[in-house]
Structure 1
Amino acid sequence: MSVAPRAFGLSKSRITYFEQCPKRLWLSVHRPELAETDEGAEARFAIGHEVGAAACSLLPGGVMVEAKPDLSAALATTKALLESGHEDPIFEATFQHDGVLVRVDILEPNGIGGWHMAEVKSSTKPKDYHVNDLATQVWVAREAGVPIESAAIRHLDTDFVLEGDGSLDGLFFDSDLTSNIKDRVETRAEVVAAARETLAGEEPSILPGSHCDGLPCNFAAYCEGALPPGPQWPVTVLPYGGGNHWLRRGVEDLFEIDPTMLTNPTHQRVYKATITGEPDHSIEGARSAMADWRFPRTWLDFETIAFAIPRWVGTRPYQQVPFQFSAHVEAEDGSLQHHEFLSLDGADPRRACAEALVTMIPSSGAVVAYNAGFEKARLRELCEFFPDLADDLNSIIDRVVDLLPVTRANWYHRDQRGSWSIKAVLPTVAPDLDYTELEVKDGGNAQAAYLEAISPTTTDDRRAALDVALRTYCGRDTEAMIVLARHLTQN
């Protein structure tokens, strides 16, 4: 597809696309209809908006530059503020140079005639692409005549803990990148020229590769469609990066590997199960591993929410707070009792969750989780915040055992394709316990359902439906562990 030469307006985002992959930039402008829907985009935007608003709220006296009725107005407002000698923070200051338009999250006067630029991010540290983003912002602003003396990524500080007064002072940390971006600022003009040249030409011929890693791209499916079909069983099914060695040797098909060169026992098991089609199953190994798991066994699974900006006293940015758990209590005769907890009122769920745990989980017997480090970490956090419940919670922690390493050591079916996540393992042992028909299918769905349920705009009927969906999903997780454990230990 040939494109007639013309001037293309560029933004910070488009330049970021170009620096990741020129083809991504070209497609975003000329073939946007090829982009896949990004289901998480709306949630990420909401988080970014909330974090940005919080950063501005910590700078009283700041002035917001509105893009109304359009960005021309924002440019004019920014210019007027600077020319008038404005000496307070400016939010969304808007600049343009060489066809590149940027809106700067925060400009703060440094007290000596210059400005400090802060780009606000909802991450807990700068990411690689943030550096180029900031370089573009600084370059445009300086070329527009603004003395930017320092520049930073203003991100969430994981050391921040929300105190009783609800103050957000200390929520953000500036990672100063002034020196890091110096060379990149100096080469921005060349980058912009190259980006514009790409847009004026035909679609770049670039195949998927390592440049696709890191920053998600909505054109991945389109680009992958240009690749020849790969082998049914690629070497990448070897776990823990085991396929990379073979890819470097030019081997893509697992069936072409010389098995005598596999020295990792797990790789050997995966290879054999894949080649033969017969699952690798050690019944005696699984029985031995679980022999000390005393009854009553409690099969436990948490669902958690992690807010970028802490909402509850004593929590940090992105701290995983349990709002739900399922606990199937199994007696030695195989009989089951199901207990569960779910909080959807939007209030801090931790106290109620902790009390439910010590009430519902028996005082003896193994407490089984899958990838148990997660459950143990949540229990420890509850211990720290509720010392009056610490003895009972610590008793639970002391009895936690992990089904994941038992499964990893004693079961592998080739349809797992190198993964021992419970979602990968379960279809190979109990295909009837399918998650696809559930409204809530995974942890990400559970978080989204929680956020919808606590929203004041959600109707009572919808909240009731979400309650059922969440209980069904979390209960399925603990039921799945029981079915898996029985499969591992039976002929």
Structure 2
Amino acid sequence: MVAGTQTPRAAGTPWRSGLSKSRLAIFEQCAKRLWLSVNKPDAAQESNGTKLAFRIGHDVGDIACTLLPDGIMIDGANGMTFAAEATCKALLANERRPLFEATFIHEGVVVRVDLLIPDGAGWHVVEVKSTTRVKPYHCADLATQLWVMRGCGVPVTKASIRVIDTSFVLTEAGNYHGLFTDEQAGDEVAEILASRADVVAAANATLDGPEPALSVGAHCSDPFQCSFETYCRRDLPQSPTWPVSLLPGVGGKALARTMISEGVDDLLLVDAERTAHPLLERVRAATFSGDAYHDAEGVRRDTDCWSYPRTFLDFETIAPAIPRWLGTSPYQQVPFQFSAHIDRGDGELEHRKFLSIDGDDPRHACAEALATLPTAGAVVAWNASFERTCLLKLAAVSPLYESVLRSLADRLVDLLPVARRHYYHRDMRGSWSIKAVLPTLAPELDYGSLTGAQSGVEAQESYLEAIDGKTSLDRRQEIRRGLLDYCRLDTLAMVIALERLQGPASQVLPSQGLPDR
């Protein structure tokens, strides 16, 4: 593959904050999103998940650079035109070395190449991704780079997308050789490359024109969640209080799409015969009436056999793209915290906890703390498959505690399917997550009142901040208190939820949703 053959040059014209690889990717998702990102950037609302994804991407890119120790980083602090000129000088230097963030500008489009590696008489272009497989938009990103580099006369002999190999296991601290695997550019990239000039022209036309009049739709979250969705919805007609999209599961979502195509988007307008499946009919009926579906007898029938002492268990985990600890693999879930509430059937609750925020491998200390939990009785979780996986993974690396950890895993019971079978309150809005169920049963247990982490994503972000060497001792202690409070609430929530699900219907709160239409 040859993207250019003449003498490489920095750029045809200086870059004045026009198009880039990321902006072209935004344009291909939604022209309006590109226009807003340039003209109304303050209207964006980034989610915590998006911020965490960016952090992961930066960490992966840094590791990819460390595997080429003789590489040169092209500094972009003084602007893209300066960076492009520095790149040109490095390309023409007598000593050919790998370049990081090599910068090129062509027809007003700037790209910064993750890795540019000498390859014979030319260069190997590498686009580094934090995913474990190549995705369609990766090919578009690579095609944009090749189009710009071709315009700059850079001889490209090979082009690859470098992703993470999940079979990698960290066996030596700091040694990440083998972490990545390459997929070379093929016909898909070549096809995209052939039409890149047209895409650039269309993107420029969008930026030169007024705000595009595009409606919200499936493209708002494919391939990325758009940060301007709230802005775009501001002038839309008010959605129904209870939209058909609340119908749960694959079947419910399929039915919702069918009804929307028929012009019905309000669940209150759906006839009972359309929701013949028992679960969907419960959701429809509870939404229509405002009365919760609560089969307390069914809950008791399913749970009375759960022997005492009952240990309500919840883990918080971190899954680094770059393995931090020996014996771990990319994106392996590693527990750094657990909470356990123990109910011995005598009306008293005992709380046990574990939290590691020193940055060391938390698995062995976590296993040791888990070994102090009761060796008999049911172990209650919400979506128990996750807790089971955590316990078995810990057992595999903790021979001293393997039998007790496997015993905990064998005694797991799951409260989630019990709630799904026997309870639905319309304020849950189609979800049986603990955070959806709890406010309908125990509003006094309010995640929103927590001063630290209030979700699993926030717990992960808090953990990463805590183990950062730049975090002060006072801030680390503040994070510790917040994490302990959050995880404790997760297990206390299960205790109270089970108690009230087993109890009379009078314990279920009336709907707090918006008034019926």
Say whether the fold is shared (TM-score over 0.5): yes
Partner of 2:388: 376
Once the two structures are overlaid, the 10-residue window that deviates more, 294-303 or 260-269, is 260-269
**Which whole-Å deviations, capped at 9, do the CAs of 1:23-66 have from their partners, x for residues lacking one?**
11111122223222554555444332221111011113222222
How far apart, CA to CA, are the structure 1 residues paired with 2:383 and 2:484?
Answer: 20
Q: Which ranges in structure 1 are unaligned for 5 or more consecutive residues? A: 1-6
**Are positions 1:357 and 2:370 aligned together?**
yes
How far apart, CA to CA, are the structure 2 residues paired with 1:264 and 1:51?
Answer: 45
Q: Shift of the alpha carbon at 1:465?
A: 2.2
Q: Which of 175, 192, 196 matches 1:184? A: 192
Q: Which of 336, 351, 369 matches 1:323? A: 336
Partner of 1:410: 422
Q: Shift of the alpha carbon at 1:334?
A: 2.8
Following superposition of structure 1 onto structure 2, how do residues 30-179 of structure 1 map, counting pairs within 5 Å?
A: 30-40=39-49, 42-84=51-93, 86-111=95-120, 113-179=121-187
Q: Which of 382, 402, 409 matches 1:390? A: 402
Q: Shift of the alpha carbon at 1:9?
A: 2.2
Q: Which amino acid aligns with 1:251?
A: V
Partner of 1:308: 321
Distance 1:121 1:383, change over 3 A: same
**Which whole-Å deviations, capped at 9, do the CAs of 1:274-314 have from their partners, x for residues lacking one?**
00111011111111111221110000011112222111111
**Which whole-Å deviations, capped at 9, do the CAs of 1:125-161 have from their partners, x for residues lacking one?**
2333222111101111112111223322212221111
**Are positions 1:429 and 2:437 aligned together?**
no
**Are positions 1:281 and 2:294 aligned together?**
yes
How far apart, CA to CA, are the structure 2 residues paired with 1:344 and 1:200?
Answer: 50
Q: Tell me if structure 2 keeps the 8 A contact 1:307–1:319.
A: yes
Output the aligned Cα RMSD.
Answer: 1.7
Percent identity among equivalent residues? 51
Q: Which of 219, 222, 240 matches 2:228? A: 219
Q: Tell me if structure 2 keeps the 8 A contact 1:27–1:203.
A: yes
How far apart, CA to CA, are the structure 1 residues paired with 2:48 and 2:385?
Answer: 29
How far apart, CA to CA, are the structure 2 residues paired with 1:14 and 1:465?
Answer: 38
Partner of 1:3: none
Q: Tell me if structure 2 keeps the 8 A contact 1:8–1:196.
A: no
How far apart, CA to CA, are the structure 1 residues paired with 2:49 and 2:431?
Answer: 23
Q: Tell me if structure 1 keeps the 8 A contact 2:104–2:148.
A: yes
Partner of 1:332: 345
Distance 1:175 1:245, change over 3 A: same
Partner of 2:5: none
Q: Shift of the alpha carbon at 1:110?
A: 2.7
Query: What SS does the corresponding residue of 2:495 show, helix, strand or coil?
Result: helix
**Which whole-Å deviations, capped at 9, do the CAs of 1:90-146 have from their partners, x for residues lacking one?**
2111111111111101112333x2322111122222333222111101111112111
Q: Which amino acid aligns with 2:158?
A: S
Once the two structures are overlaid, the 10-residue window that deviates more, 68-77 or 313-322, is 68-77
**Are positions 1:457 and 2:470 aligned together?**
yes
Partner of 1:234: 243
Distance 1:38 1:405, change over 3 A: closer
Q: Tell me if structure 1 keeps the 8 A contact 2:32–2:211.
A: yes
Partner of 1:298: 311
**Which whole-Å deviations, capped at 9, do the CAs of 1:337-390 have from their partners, x for residues lacking one?**
11111112211111010011011x111100000001111001111111112321
Query: What SS does the corresponding residue of 1:181 show, helix, strand or coil?
Result: helix
Q: TM-score, normalising length from structure 2?
A: 0.90
Query: What SS does the corresponding residue of 2:447 show, helix, strand or coil?
Result: coil
Partner of 1:266: 279
Q: Tell me if structure 1 keeps the 8 A contact 2:47–2:227.
A: yes
Q: Tell me if structure 2 keeps the 8 A contact 1:94–1:103.
A: yes
Q: TM-score, normalising length from structure 1?
A: 0.95
Query: What SS does the corresponding residue of 1:151 show, helix, strand or coil?
Result: strand
Distance 1:244 1:162, change over 3 A: same
Once the two structures are overlaid, the 10-residue window that deviates more, 177-186 or 227-236, is 177-186
Partner of 2:509: none
**Which whole-Å deviations, capped at 9, do the CAs of 1:448-483 have from their partners, x for residues lacking one?**
222222222323222222222211111111110011
Q: Which amino acid aligns with 2:122?
A: G
Partner of 1:204: 212
Q: Which amino acid aligns with 1:271?
A: R
Q: Which amino acid aligns with 1:216?
A: Q
How far apart, CA to CA, are the structure 2 residues paired with 1:334 and 1:38?
Answer: 41
Distance 1:46 1:261, change over 3 A: closer
Q: Shift of the alpha carbon at 1:315?
A: 0.9
Partner of 1:19: 28
Q: Tell me if structure 2 keeps the 8 A contact 1:78–1:94.
A: yes
Q: Tell me if structure 2 keeps the 8 A contact 1:26–1:199.
A: yes
How far apart, CA to CA, are the structure 2 residues paired with 1:267 and 1:136?
Answer: 46
How far apart, CA to CA, are the structure 1 residues paired with 2:416 and 2:468?
Answer: 35
Once the two structures are overlaid, the 10-residue window that deviates more, 425-434 or 58-67, is 58-67
Q: Shift of the alpha carbon at 1:82?
A: 2.3
